[in-house]
Structure 1
């Protein structure tokens, strides 16, 4: 972003057509090619969220099977977590589609989960260590749980 981007005076007729085209070409080139750090985090989340849904679903099935005094509340809690995960997964898929990024399942080798992705014509592999994925899942599930138990703290974090 240059100093002139936020200045409305430079949107007038003073700007020559070829200069505007050069600026737009430079801006468009920045949007092509390799994935940014933010987009790599989105790809990581796209890999992680289905695993979280599977784990939550297994916990839900176990909660339904085991007799417990608070069984109904456990089921409702797990269902709330699954709903939030599904909602985030939906918005993430839509955002990746808007950015022209496609992620494909690939392979698991030596404890590393690899996924192939295509980002605006650039093809690469994204690998994540299984233990790192597990720790990130536990942190994220704790975040979802705390946001359910303390909804006002989540709203105050979003406003910051």
Structure 2
């Protein structure tokens, strides 16, 4: 038998509205410290863009030393994609800084690449498998290529030529 069994005032569990509002406000403010899906997308992009930049730079150096017939075309396409990657990286770093998110270091374990980050005072870990990274990089490079093709088609349309 506890001390509260005979006490009648503990039977009613009434909650005042101001206490309920304080409780909800407290949980709303704590919920803002947890990383959102949009911020996870930013982290994913931040981790992928340096790998993509290295890949495109390697492709540029490979094409420069080749005897390819369309060497100049390949260089121009790769340079356009590299410029887009660098621009996106700059925008992404600025966005992460505004949201008070810092990415610290990278570690690899069992085909998973982990990144430690601080988000509004909380330290967490974000990881991606190499297969996911490859597919995401492929999708992003395809997106950049299709943007270039759309841009070329638009310019050809404006000049009256067909592509």
Higher relative contact order (CA 8 A, sep 6+): 1
Matched residues, number: 132
Instruction: Within 5 Å, give how 1:1-160 maps onto structure 2.
Output: 29=29, 32-151=32-151
Shift of 1:32: 3.8
1:13-63 per-position Cα deviation (integer Å, ceiling 9, x unaligned): xxxxxxxxx8xx669816742210110110010000000000000111111
What TM-score does the superposition give when structure 2 sets the normalisation length?
0.75
Partners of 1:31 and 1:151 in 2: CA distance? 42
Partners of 2:62 and 2:42 in 1: CA distance? 30
Larger gyration radius, structure 1 or structure 2 = 2
Secondary structure, counterpart of 1:150 in structure 2? helix
Q: What is the aligned-residue RMSD (CA, Å)?
A: 2.3
Shift of 1:73: 1.0
Secondary structure, counterpart of 1:67 in structure 2? coil
Structure 2: gaps spanning 5 or more residues: 1-21, 155-163
Greater shift, 67-76 or 44-53, is seen at 67-76
| 8 A contact 1:147–1:153 mirrored in 2 | no
Partners of 2:64 and 2:31 in 1: CA distance? 48
Which runs of structure 1 show a deviation greater than 6 angstroms over 4 or more consecutive aligned residues? 25-28
